[in-house]
Structure 1
Amino acid sequence: MSDIRVLIGDDHRIVREGLKQMLGDLSNGLPAMVVRAEAQTGPEVLEAVQSLGGPEGLDVVLLDIALPGRDGLDVLQALRKQWPSLPVLMLSTYPEKQYAVRCIKLGASGYLNKSADADDMVGAVRKVAAGGLYVSAAAAEALATAVGKGAGQGAEMLSHREHQVYRLLSAGHSVSEIGAQLGLAPNTVSTYRARILEKTGTKNDVELALYAERHGKQGAPG
């Protein structure tokens, strides 16, 4: 049986080392999981996948949501566009109910909290490498809730770009700072801000920050 070839995209070296050890220690007679490449920024993930030929050289991409240079959700969309058959398992420190639905809607093969135990992590990698969808009990509950709400409400109604702006606004960044980080004109960011305030039912940045804190989404996910 062939090895499962993995790329780890995470900006923290200790996390990458921990994942490598975890994957290497738990083969249990099954195909070994071999880390073919590591990347610590969004652009580096895309470059590594490109250099390995996408699914020709990789079976799974383990991708952190909070990556410098280009966040994991943007990278996920880019990978889905160029390499639609390459499974991507998203990782974050935030609970499934906050990002699992968004990631799966964008084409991820699964969403896993970094606090998951080693057996769950390895099981998730094996499942998505085999072409399956990994959904934890918490993620399944979040998906069911989203379906029940239909179009969703509040932050769930935000588009991907609106959600990026929302995260940065709620973390205290100014319109000009957000524009520089996302490569958008300030007036474009202001337009997104107006839509976000309307969809979340808030009137200003202070109310938005309080809203984000109540919903556990303040700042960028890890």
Structure 2
Amino acid sequence: MKKTIIIVDDHLLIAKALESIINNFPGFAVKGVAENGKALIEKLQTSEEKPDIILLDISMPIMDGFETAQWLRKNLPDIKVMALSMQGDDQSVIRMIKYGAKGYMLKNTHPKDLEHALSKLSSEGSFYPEWAEKIIFSTLNGDKNDKELKISDREKEFLSYTATELSYKEIAEKMFCSPRTVESYRDQLCEKLGLKTRVGLAVFALKNGFAES
């Protein structure tokens, strides 16, 4: 049985192009298109059959991808959400992970890579492209606890802020220290965990209970 998909994108030409591409993937079928999160919710609430996957743009009017992902996580957590966006910055990735997205792809990806991503998402429950997988998940094997890693209380506090939208300067204000001290926490944790970016720190924090999802 084919996995069903709803595409959420405010650019109709892009959505229709994606629909045509995906309908040529063996094992997948697009069952609808919505122009924003609000339109998606209305579609879901009036349909008895729910899709397996929602391919979700981020930047949209009325109700964007962040708000939509939050609603889906709360109301329909069994539906797998994959972000498909032009935004590849750290903050966007962090927020979508925090709000429950199980995959993240850029719109300039090759159709074959998109097919691969959807297949992995369906079979394994999540998928991130190689650039994110190497940075984020390479060391998140779950077999090290905070004692083995010797994460200090202040580093734990810093980790709790990494999955937020706060800048490092704002985190420093919250922690009543200087931005340079916050940067030292970041550098120390990256070295301990073998990570390179805030995205990786945020995912580690979320997966290990240092930050709220």
**Same fold by TM (over 0.5)?**
yes
Q: Which runs of 4+ in 1 moved over 6 A?
A: 145-150
Note the aligned Cα RMSD (angstroms).
3.0
Match of 2:109 among 98, 103, 116: 116
Does residue 135 of the first structure (1) align with residue 134 of the second (2)? Answer: no
Q: Offset at 1:201?
A: 7.5
TM-score by length of structure 1 reads: 0.61
> Which segments of 5 or more consecutive residues in structure 1 lack a partner in the other structure?
164-194, 203-222
- CA deviation map 1:100-156 (0-9, x unaligned): 233122211100111111011112222223352101111224425998997459xx7
Instruction: Tell me, in whole angstroms, the C-alpha distance in 1 between the residues paired with 2:47 and 2:124.
Output: 19
Change in Cα spacing, 1:8 to 1:131, as seen in structure 2 (3 Å) is same
1:35 corresponds in structure 2 to: 30
- CA deviation map 1:30-88 (0-9, x unaligned): x2x211111112201111222234xx431100000112111111110100101111100
Instruction: Tell me, in whole angstroms, the C-alpha distance in 1 between the residues paired with 2:50 and 2:137.
Output: 35
Does residue 21 of the first structure (1) align with residue 20 of the second (2)? Answer: yes
TM-score by length of structure 2 reads: 0.64
Change in Cα spacing, 1:113 to 1:152, as seen in structure 2 (3 Å) is farther
1:47 corresponds in structure 2 to: 42
Change in Cα spacing, 1:16 to 1:146, as seen in structure 2 (3 Å) is farther
1:210 corresponds in structure 2 to: none
Does residue 199 of the first structure (1) align with residue 170 of the second (2)? Answer: yes
Instruction: Tell me, in whole angstroms, the C-alpha distance in 1 between the residues paired with 2:41 and 2:112.
Output: 28
Change in Cα spacing, 1:16 to 1:158, as seen in structure 2 (3 Å) is same
Give the partner amino acid of 1:125: L
Sequence identity (%): 26
SS at match of 1:25: coil
Instruction: Tell me, in whole angstroms, the C-alpha distance in 2 between the residues paired with 1:73 and 1:145.
Output: 26
Equivalent positions of 1:24-173 (< 5 A) are 24-27=23-26, 31=27, 33-53=28-48, 56-95=49-88, 97-143=90-136, 151=158, 157=162, 159=164, 163=165
Change in Cα spacing, 1:52 to 1:94, as seen in structure 2 (3 Å) is same
1:65 and 1:71 in contact (8 A); partners too: yes
1:7 corresponds in structure 2 to: 6
SS at match of 1:5: strand
Instruction: Tell me, in whole angstroms, the C-alpha distance in 2 between the residues paired with 1:146 and 1:42.
Output: 34
Give the partner amino acid of 2:45: Q
Instruction: Tell me, in whole angstroms, the C-alpha distance in 1 between the residues paired with 2:106 and 2:118.
Output: 13
